[in-house]
Amino acid sequence: MSRLLLRLAALCLAALLLAAGPASADERILDFVSQVVIRPDASLLVTETIQVRSQGRQIKRGIVREFPTTYTDRRGRGVQVGFSLQKVERDGRRESYHLQKASNGVRVYIGRKDHLLSPGVYTYRLTYRTERQLGFFDRYDELYWNVTGNGWTLPIDRARAVVQLPAGGRVLQQAAYTGPSGAQGRDWRYGPDAQGRLQWVTTRPLAAGEGLTIAVAWPKGLVKPPPPPKDGRWLPAGSGPYVGLAGLAALLLYYLLAWYRVGRDPQKGTVIPLFTPPAGLSPAAVRFLRHMGFDHKAFAAAVVDMAVKGYLTIVEEKDKSYQLKRTGKTPDNLSPGERRLGPLLFKKGKSLKLKPSSHSTVSAALKDLRHSLRAEYEKANFRLNRLYLLPGILITLLALAALVLAAREPEGALGLGLWLAVWSGGCYFISTRVVRAWRGARGLGGHLAAMGATVFAAPFIIGALIGLFAFGHLTGPTAAPIYLALLALTPLFAHLLKAPTVGGRRLMDQIEGFRLYLSVAEKERLGLLHPPERTPELFERYLSYALALDVEQEWSEQFAQVLAGAGEQAYQPGWYSGGSFSARGVGGLAGSLGGALTGAISSSSSAPGSSSGSGGGGSSGGGGGGGGGSGW
């Protein structure tokens, strides 16, 4: 029985040793000692002795020590502190190191890139000089010092701070704090060391992310305060929002005056339903005039019109892509723009797939149609007034520059502002697509597609919000909405400054009258005076106009019963082959042919020391110094 007990005891002891072995061999900081000498010129000479145990996991070549050099004082001003590394040693010998700029300071990599350490215990010593770390208050001066930093990825078995006051200095008050950033842990003891210097020592190990912060105050007059700090701003601290608001007000006032002068539309006429489009206007021209500009849907309307007239056929493939095929006919009723468009689409063969690989062909056709529409209709019917945008853009740039120059880190605010401008533009483009997807959603498939577009857009919008938060952190919380408003006003007034001529206004009223007829509901149709009879031929004749005027769904639904009764078989036009008509019915045309064809054209046109801590109001992580580190 006794032998059995002895064996069990031996097994338990072995298990305990095996369990304790890896834990005792974990990579960690065994001892962290910071010796701080306070000089009469208010600078600090700091010597950090960091003893570590390496197992080749985090600590492979050496350690990394991070030191903050940019702080924000209690007034929100950015303050730069000095940092001059004087010596780096490992086990009493000079050690290689290199510096790397961090977001708010400097990162010291100790060790050589091409040399890996053997597992073992190593002692690193860093000596550096730093300025502007002291606090100067009414009745005392103070060192509020984050000894270890709270950014270490390694645990610290013991931390110790040793402070040498200026000659003649005596302690008025002192405090220390342990734990993660913001904590007020009391796991420390205070007392003089063997040389009579002030000393704080932790009484428990610190986990990764925890640190030791100390604060000590002495009578005034022993240290000469440095001159007021330069906060890195080009404009006075706190002036950014006021300058930004002034710029925003000036921009809005300018655009309102410009709109009053050139952007007001002539008075609209009475809109009455018209059963035919204005004479001589193609579907692409109707859309161009109504929107006072060109887009891909105008091109899609032209393609559908050419198909209805017999110049080409539209084929919807099984993968939901589209292909255009030349029929060999050249109808007499093609518009001038459509007549020019045909040879451009089929210059490489008798068919064209609307895919990104065809971007050169489709983009050339888009450019030509846009040019022909502008040449024929723009000057006589509306004015874009783009020259009036140039002063607005200049005011915008000046106001944005003021926001950046007033930031506590102008360089960072400039880079972030430029990135945010581009990113926000992309988010605006994506958001408009999402809105269009939800507006055009029909049936389960359409709503699923809209939901997918929303999910796709969400990370980009979240990224923009994070960028705005970071920009506000650098420039002030009110600067972010001012920044957005400045960016938004010019695109808004680019639209508002467009104005039709008197003749253009009359033509647009006729277009609205024709659109009214295309979109009218059945009960409203009964009130029209002698509307044309609904036939499949009438449906096809004006389908491209309905597409151009964004009422293709309403126009299709008017003919659902007519086309269903056109014959024993389901209606299938000769100019189109695919599933949009037969599988979903005519009422699904808006969500399939119109939207999908426009999307296919779009894709195929593109190539692939301000606060005190010694009185007990501080916390771990507060004050100067700090940072953290890791192995590398």
Our measurement of the distance from residue 595's CA atom to the centroid of its chain's CA atoms, rounded to an integer in Å, reads 28
Which pLDDT belongs to residue 162? 94
What beta strand segments (E) does 210-311 contain? 211-218
Q: Pick from 134, 218, 143, 147: which is nearest to 178 by CA?
A: 147
Mean pLDDT of all residues in 445-449: 69
Q: Taking residues 391-407, what's their average pLDDT?
A: 82
With bands split at pLDDT 50, 70 and 90, how would you rate the model's confidence at 503? very high
User: Which of 102-106, 179-183, 497-501 is modeled with the greatest confidence?
Assistant: 497-501
H or E element at residue 179 = strand 173-179
Mean residue pLDDT of the chain comes to: 80
pLDDT digits (tens, 9 = 90+) for 228-276: 655 555 555 556 677 788 889 999 999 999 999 998 989 988 888 888 9
Instruction: Measure the CA–CA gap between 460 and 466, rounded to whole angstroms.
Output: 10
* Contact (CB, 8 A) for 124 and 154: no
pLDDT of residue 256: 96
pLDDT band (50, 70, 90) for residue 583? very low
pLDDT of the residue at 127: 94
| Token code pair at residue 478 | 């009110």
pLDDT of residue 228: 67
pLDDT of residue 203 exceeding 90: yes
Whether the CB-CB separation of 325 and 315 falls below 8 Å is answered with yes
pLDDT at position 211: 92
The pLDDT, as a whole number, for residue 395 is: 92
Tell me which of 440 and 555 has the higher pLDDT: 555
Neighbours of 194 (CB within 10 A): 6
User: What per-residue confidence (pLDDT) applies to 585?
Assistant: 44
pLDDT at residue number 608: 47
Question: How much of the chain exceeds pLDDT 90, in percent?
Answer: 34
For 460, residues 6+ apart whose C-beta sits below 8 A from its C-beta are: 423, 426, 427, 430
Question: Which of 128-137, 237-246, 407-416 is predicted most confidently?
Answer: 128-137
Instruction: Specify the pTM.
Output: 0.55
What pLDDT, on a 0 to 100 scale, did the predictor assign at position 47? Answer: 94
pLDDT of residue 285: 94
Give the full edge-to-edge strand order of the sheet including 576-577: 351-353, 322-326, 312-316, 576-577
Cβ-based burial of 17 (10 A; exposed 0-12, middle 13-18, buried ≥19): exposed
What does the pLDDT average to over 202-214? 93
In the numeric block, which tokens belong to residue 423?
């990113």
Whether 498 shows a pLDDT value over 70: the answer reads yes
State the pLDDT at residue 154: 92
Residue 82 pLDDT greater than 70, yes or no:
yes
**Looking at 256-265, 282-291, 345-354, which range is the least confident one?**
345-354
In the predicted model, is pLDDT for residue 486 greater than 50?
Answer: yes
The pLDDT tens digits of the residues spanning 360-383 come to 888 888 899 999 999 999 999 999
Long-range contacts of 397-400 (CB under 8 A, 24+ apart): 398/247, 399/243, 399/244, 399/246, 399/247, 399/248, 399/250, 399/251, 399/482, 399/486, 400/247, 400/483, 400/486
**What is residue 282's predicted lDDT score, i.e. its pLDDT?**
94
Residue 177 has pLDDT above 90, yes or no: yes
Name every residue whose Cβ is closer than 8 Å to that of residue 282 and which is 6 or more positions away in sequence: 302, 305, 335, 337, 338
Average of per-residue pLDDT across 307-314: 91
Residue 3 scores a pLDDT above 80: no
pLDDT band at 504 (very low <50, low <70, confident <90, very high): very high
Query: Residue 453 — very low, low, confident or very high, per pLDDT cuts 50/70/90?
Result: confident
- Pairwise pLDDT comparison (432 vs 523), residue with the higher score: 432
**pLDDT for the residue 77:** 56
How far apart CA 2 and CA 280 sit, in angstroms, is: 113
Domains of the chain by range and CATH?
28-226 (2.60.40), 239-259+387-497 (no CATH), 267-385+499-523+531-605 (no CATH)
